[in-house]
């Protein structure tokens, strides 16, 4: 009995759920934000797509501004855009708490990191499935979050790529070897009750989930379940 309680607390201590509003009902966004709040979402994941870096277009600055005015949730902004450097200041002003950019999208990732810091946001760096873990080595001690894509970026509702679990583990090891305990691993794409345990066991700290959570009648218990 006591042992179970301890195990539960340990397992749930650090896990956070960032709910992707890509799958929300955008016509009723205010209600959806309230739903996230009621469901105890830890973060709101905001997917920005430009039709260039990824083959889809989602939403951008005016929507982030509106969201930021309506919610006090932590705003986790995932930029899937070319030339992120040009837009960092705008996304920071629009209310982003964390700005994550793609390593593959930036001419000079160091400069993008410096610009995000300058805007007083947390810094995230992301890699597509085809980019190996070792490509992140020069940036490990400069960022707050490493976002590992477990689908090809561009669309919600895709299936988790199980090959990526090994990459999560590799990055977890790289961080542990360097004693970088404050850098958190976020996993994005195809997270549901079936795949969450696999990502968590490999070392994920933050799970992004969109289509799965918005399909649930009871988002709150679904979020609790994902954390276990």
Active site residues per annotation = 47, 188
Cβ-contact 129, 154 below 8 angstroms: no
Is 78 near Zn ion (CB under 5 A)?
yes
Distances (CA, A) of 100 to 97, 122, 126, 208: 10, 8, 7, 13
Exactly one of 63, 74, 104, 157 binds ligand DX5 (CB under 6 A); which one?
Answer: 157
Is 124 near ligand DX5 (CB under 6 A)?
no
Q: Toward Zn ion, which CB reaches closer, 78 or 167?
A: 78
Which residues from 77-96 bind ligand DX5, rule CB under 6 A?
A: 78
Of the ranges 7-15, 88-96, 97-105, 187-195, which one interacts with ligand DX5 (CB under 6 A)? 187-195
Exactly one of 23, 105, 165, 195 binds ligand DX5 (CB under 6 A); which one?
Answer: 23
Q: H helices then E strands: how many in the chain?
A: 9, 8
Q: How far is the CB of 6 from ligand DX5 (least distance, A)?
A: 31
Exactly one of 79, 112, 125, 191 binds ligand DX5 (CB under 6 A); which one?
Answer: 191
Rounded Cα–Cα distance for residues 192 and 156 (Å): 12
Q: How far is the CB of 131 from ligand DX5 (least distance, A)?
A: 14
Q: How far is the CB of 79 from ligand DX5 (least distance, A)?
A: 10
Distances (CA, A) of 66 to 58, 119, 132, 146, 181: 15, 19, 36, 27, 34
Is 50 near Zn ion (CB under 5 A)?
no
Other C-beta atoms lying within 10 Å of the C-beta of residue 1: 4
Is 20 near ligand DX5 (CB under 6 A)?
yes
Q: Which of 17, 3, 6 is nearest to 227 (CA)?
A: 17
Rounded Cα–Cα distance for residues 214 and 224 (Å): 14
48 φ/ψ angles, rounded to the nearest 5 degrees = -105, 120
Other C-beta atoms lying within 10 Å of the C-beta of residue 92: 18
Distances (CA, A) of 76 to 26, 202, 206, 218: 18, 22, 11, 23
**Residue 127 binding target from Zn ion, ligand DX5, none, CB below 5 to 8 Å by type:** none
For ligand DX5, what does the binding mask look like between residues 136 and 155, x meaning CB under 6 A?
A: ---------------x-xxx
Exactly one of 47, 186, 192, 205 binds Zn ion (CB under 5 A); which one?
Answer: 47
Is 212 near ligand DX5 (CB under 6 A)?
yes
Q: Toward Zn ion, which CB reaches closer, 78 or 128?
A: 78
The residues that touch ligand DX5, with contacts defined as CB under 6 A, are 20, 22-23, 45, 47, 78, 151, 153-158, 188-191, 208-212
The residues that touch Zn ion, with contacts defined as CB under 5 A, are 47, 78, 188
């Amino acid at each position: 009995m006591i042992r179970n309680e301890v195990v539960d607390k340990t397992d749930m201590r650090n896990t956070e759920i960032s709910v992707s509003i890509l799958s929300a009902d955008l016509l009723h966004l205010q209600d959806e934000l309230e739903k996230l709040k009621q469901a105890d979402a830890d973060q709101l994941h905001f997917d920005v797509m430009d039709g260039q870096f990824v083959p889809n277009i989602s939403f951008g600055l005016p929507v982030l501004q509106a969201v930021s005015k309506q919610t006090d949730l932590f705003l986790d902004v995932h930029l899937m855009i070319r030339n992120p450097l040009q837009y960092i200041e705008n996304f920071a002003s629009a209310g982003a708490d964390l700005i994550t950019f793609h390593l593959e999208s930036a001419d000079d990732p160091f400069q993008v990191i410096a610009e995000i810091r300058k805007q007083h946001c947390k810094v995230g760096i992301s890699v597509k499935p085809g980019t190996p873990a070792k490509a992140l080595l020069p940036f490990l001690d400069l960022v707050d979050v490493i976002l590992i894509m477990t689908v090809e970026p561009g669309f919600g509702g895709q299936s988790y790529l199980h090959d990526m679990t090994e990459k999560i583990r590799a990055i977890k090891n790289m961080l542990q070897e360097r004693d970088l305990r404050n850098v958190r691993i976020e996993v994005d794409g195809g997270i549901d009750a079936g795949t969450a345990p696999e990502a968590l066991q490999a070392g994920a700290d933050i799970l992004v989930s969109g289509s799965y959570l918005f399909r649930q009648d009871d988002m709150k218990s679904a979020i609790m379940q994902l954390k276990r």
